[in-house]
Amino acid sequence: MKKRIALFISGRGSNMKAIVEQCQGGILKDLVEVVLVFANRQDAGGLEHAQQLGLETHCIESRGLKRTAFDQKVLTLLSDYQLDYIVLAGYMRVLSSAFVAAYPKRIINIHPADTAQHQGLNGYGWAFEKGLETTKVTVHYVDEGLDTGAIIAQHSVDLKGASTLEEVERRGLAVEHYFYSKTLQEIFE
């Protein structure tokens, strides 16, 4: 049985697109069905991409709502979908404990740094400002903390000679786009 997943995004959705491609004809083809792409921002560019890819999309705008009230609305929406996993792909919100409790060990995130060293936003900016020669991307389970959930897998990103933030991001995202699907494959197999 394929795992039924929802992909959660807040922005451009390049990781969402990479995962969907692997579900449609790649390493996740027999393992995963993307039943929903959810965004918390009306202006998330990834929503349009998801529609073009033929996926069901839904947006609940989070601005102006308290965390618990917003998460409750999302939980109500999700209750129609019988999800096995929620896969966060550039979803820029900390989840409430009620939300995490509803999907124990079934929410997965990718973080553009080693979560032991850098939490929160701007992972590539952090690596660039520190002048790191290598950084890591981390796939981890989500708990109610900020990037504190158990690490599932990490992959290094070679930053030698990367002299601009754009280049750091380009190299990091190239790893993310491959590594997230590969890690999901290992979890679901």
Binding site for ligand GAR (CB under 6 A): 9, 11-15, 46, 89-90, 110-112, 121, 123, 173, 176
How much of the chain is helix, strand and coil, in % rounded to 5?
Answer: 35, 25, 40
The amino acid that residue 179 corresponds to is F
Burial 3-19, CB ≥16 within 10 A → b, else e: bebbbbbbbebbbbbbb
The amino acid that residue 62 corresponds to is S
Say if residue 14 carries a ligand binding annotation. Answer: yes
Can you tell me the distance from the alpha carbon of 124 to that of 112, in angstroms, rounded to the nearest whole number? 6
Say if residue 181 carries a ligand binding annotation. Answer: no
The CB-nearest residue to ligand GAR is: 90
Question: Closer to ligand GAR at the Cβ: 80 or 116?
Answer: 116
Distance in Å, CB of 140 to ligand GAR, minimum: 10
Tokens at 44, concatenated? 């998330």
Distance in Å, CB of 178 to ligand GAR, minimum: 13
In the block, tokens 């019988």 appear at 82
Say if residue 163 carries a ligand binding annotation. Answer: no
Catalytic residue from among 111, 118, 140, 155: 111
Distance in Å, CB of 69 to ligand GAR, minimum: 22
Say if residue 122 carries a ligand binding annotation. Answer: no
Question: Closer to ligand GAR at the Cβ: 76 or 136?
Answer: 136
Give 118-183 as a DSSP string: --SS-HHHHHHHHT-SEEEEEEEE--SSSS-SPEEEEEEEE-TT--SHHHHHHHHHHHHHHHHHHH
Say if residue 40 carries a ligand binding annotation. Answer: no
Q: Are 151 and 115 in contact (CB under 8 A)?
A: yes
Question: Closer to ligand GAR at the Cβ: 3 or 11?
Answer: 11
Distance in Å, CB of 1 to ligand GAR, minimum: 27
User: Any catalytic annotation for residue 140?
Assistant: no
Question: Closer to ligand GAR at the Cβ: 12 or 106?
Answer: 12
Residues annotated as catalytic (active site), given as ranges: 111
Which residues are annotated as part of the binding site?
13-15, 67, 109
Point out the annotated binding site for (6R)-10-formyltetrahydrofolate. 67, 109
